[in-house]
Amino acid sequence: MKYSLLVLALATFAVGTDAYVVAGILPPVARSFSVSVAATGQFVTVYSLTYAVLSSVMATLTAHWARRRALFVGLAVFIAGNILTAIAPTFGLALISRALAGLGGAMITPTAGAIAALLVPPERREFALAIVFAGLTTATALGAPIGTAVGSFGDWHLTLWFVAALGVLAAISVFVFVPIVPHSPALRLQDRLAPLGDARVVTTLATSMLVIFGAFLIYNYVSVIFDRATGGDGIHLAALLSIWGAAATVGSLAGGSLADRFGNRPIINLAIMVLVLDFALMP
């Protein structure tokens, strides 16, 4: 059972790596397609928007599928999207391929969570989900820095091949280690979106979105923002990304415990103030 959860975490690790690794290769991608670095940031926008908007939609549309089948299809789409990005001859086609990869990610993450919840007794579901979704967080500390370093040894195309290879490894591991599970109860799309009718939920999501928007605006353009510090060296940039990811992982683990002890608002407000001070001093 533990191997199954780790394999599902590998799948979400691949999805997270694909989301974060572009930050480390923006300048060479821009040079390759003869576009600005700002325009190249659309690689992240297209992938992330597709992933965010379609996650609930794809979970609903594939609800009647066997869970392992849905995961395999998602991984296949994800792998294809990254391979197409690596071989795309034009910037427009590369953007389309990023949307395809985001579609695959939108199928992988909710399906992996659903399988994890069905593999364990009800009282262990929170733990199982924490293991699976730790793959997304770990991607910032390991996946993105490794992908950036891989690209620095050759060209940025190798980074996308690396992400595609992660998807292939996840697919093989799912076939070997993840058992077939029964269907989970299907939810309609309106049922999945019902919590948005609660103003407290919407306010919380809006706060999270604004904070994460600010943080990842810096992250996505870190190769440009810290160019003076890294000298354009991919290994130095990978080290910075690794530090960012490790700190994010520690913060995620510590934040929950601190919130339980001191309450949500003091911890959230303190974290936001620290971010504001950090961003103000960053130049």
Per residue in 29-72, pLDDT (tens digit) is 999 999 999 999 999 999 999 999 998 888 888 888 888 999 99
Sign of the Cα pseudo-torsion (66, 67, 68, 70, in order): positive
- Please state, in angstroms and rounded to a whole number, the distance separating the CA atoms of residues 253 and 112: 21
Per-residue confidence (pLDDT) for residue 157, from 0 to 100: 95
Per-residue confidence (pLDDT) for residue 186, from 0 to 100: 64
pLDDT, tens digit (0-9, with 9 covering 90-100), for 122-145: 888 888 888 898 888 889 889 999
- 29-43, 203-217, 253-267 — which is least confidently predicted? 253-267
- Please state, in angstroms and rounded to a whole number, the distance separating the CA atoms of residues 97 and 81: 5
Which residue intervals of 21-90 are DSSP H helices?
A: 26-33, 37-40, 42-61, 67-87
Range picked from 17-26, 79-88, 224-233, 242-251 for highest mean pLDDT = 79-88
Query: Looking at per-residue confidence, does 163 or 226 come out higher?
Result: 163
The answer on pLDDT for 83 being more than 90 is: yes
Percent of the chain scoring above 90 in pLDDT: 51
Amino acid at 56: S
Per-residue confidence (pLDDT) for residue 175, from 0 to 100: 93
For the CA atoms of 55, 57, 63, 69, the dihedral, rounded to the nearest 10 degrees, stands at: -50
- The domains located in the chain, with CATH, are 2-281 (1.20.1250.20)
Amino acid at 36: S
pLDDT-derived band at 184, boundaries 50, 70, 90:
low
Per-residue confidence (pLDDT) for residue 193, from 0 to 100: 79
Per-residue confidence (pLDDT) for residue 1, from 0 to 100: 63
Q: 2-20 and 91-119 are packed helices; what angle lies between their axes, rounded to 10 degrees?
A: 160
- Please state, in angstroms and rounded to a whole number, the distance separating the CA atoms of residues 96 and 118: 34
232: three-class secondary structure by DSSP: coil
Q: Which residues contact 271 (CB under 8 A, 6 or more apart)?
A: 211, 251, 255
Name the residue with tokens 């919380």: 204
Verdict on whether the full-model pTM lies above 0.85: yes
The answer on pLDDT for 200 being more than 80 is: yes
Mean pLDDT of the chain: 89
- The number of helix segments (H) and strand segments (E) in the chain equals 15, 0
Per-residue confidence (pLDDT) for residue 216, from 0 to 100: 85
Per-residue confidence (pLDDT) for residue 100, from 0 to 100: 97
Q: Are 77 and 103 in contact (CB under 8 A)?
A: yes
Name the residue with tokens 């293991």: 131
Per-residue confidence (pLDDT) for residue 185, from 0 to 100: 64
Q: 264-281 and 234-262 are packed helices; what angle lies between their axes, rounded to 10 degrees?
A: 150
Q: What is the DSSP letter of 198?
A: S
E strands, the chain, are: none
Distance of CA 87 to the CA centre of its chain: 22
Per-residue confidence (pLDDT) for residue 21, from 0 to 100: 93
The answer on pLDDT for 166 being more than 90 is: yes
The answer on pLDDT for 85 being more than 70 is: yes
CB neighbourhood size of 139 (10 A):
25
